[in-house]
Structure 1
């Protein structure tokens, strides 16, 4: 899956407070949206598309109406952590009658078909229509993406790809009509592991997608992600972060570059991001680590 980043911020106006950012691309889009005082009389017509909309509630939503094909199919509230699945080809309309805050995934059917075909599922994707279903897996995957939506410049393409793969696989297994792909219990072959690690090492500053790594290893995206973790004990994103920290240590030890420049050279969004990740993986801040190395010398 390819990720394009887009961030925008709209000031509160007319009693409305909108989410600050969205992530999206040719294969999916993710948007957080909230309103404190929506127009309770306005009926919103959702553009028809061959795509599924998955909406996760981040707070209690007291009153909502939903129409499919001109027929009212839901009139009620949604609890925090609940999720709904709608097919946008159903001529969907909705009415927000109370304050809400939710995360929305738009998943084109063609992209889902491509993903599952890679896993050996030849049948076209078809998800159940779901309203107000509490699904802890979907909720926690949505929660994992909130920092990326809040700071799109720091969003890791590998991380967002992994979350979206997990989401689509779970939706198919629980709500899909197509059979779930068979899990592989095997790690990467030696040449595949070497190639993946080499690619990650060569793209520390700019990052790369799960699709590129999987293609180089002649595997599907989700098969590659599972096999990589079986082989290394880490997800591709976590491996990338560890390699960035190791590169930063090398630069701190062997050069006089300032810490902010080292962080940028190693692919971190800024010094704060660099310090936070370095502290988590190395157990001390970059400044303390460099000071300790100089004392050891």
Structure 2
């Protein structure tokens, strides 16, 4: 899709984005993703005789939506991605009807593909420990104060991600005042602006304490402190992309399987369940709106239990 084609529907998408952010309370990342999803649908609609007018929403029918979904499915997208795109389009058509842009809502009858049943790769407890230990050693071996501050920050980021299972957006959005080292609690703002307190252990507490002591080394002179828990380039708030790069780099350095930050989140859920935590507790820690989302991890633990039983039981 060309830039000109995007611009012709910019006004409509801006209005939809405002609804998502202000009335639905969705995060900036989700708003951007939903608008991108809807843009792929608008590309199928007529745009006036010269092709430069905004999309004709009157042409939105269930047949159009099914044709759009078939086109998206043909691109080889994961079922979870397709399910999100359907959710975005349903939200869009419902909003368009409520605001008088269309007479009926065809999205209400659009069936969504079920999400993938598989859970992404996770680290074993030993692999996770290797990542944390390597990061701690890197921090201890760093030379200059600034280099030591960066390495300590990276160590603290990894420890908190693994200790709490928070989303990357939740971690980078946290401020210094959101950490309670005395009670080892992290306050985060999750999806739908829902606030929750997440506990963490002593290793993460030690890493964060050392980072906070070195944090000022990443604040350039004459730069106001943004108050962010984790600082990035030029003393600003650490970005989500930097955290993703950090996790990939750290797993490689520790010699374990490559993993994205969300993989650490999956690892936390799996390790909690393996350790005996109940589903409700894991749901609270991860901030899942639905228990069914948390239940995706139970089969991983069940498979490990079955494997251990097969190896150990004399009548397996």
Question: Which TM-score bucket, shorter chain as reference?
Answer: 0.3 to 0.5
Q: Rg larger in 1 or in 2? A: 2
Give the helix-richer structure, 1 or 2. 2
Give the strand-richer structure, 1 or 2. 1
TM-score (norm 1): 0.38
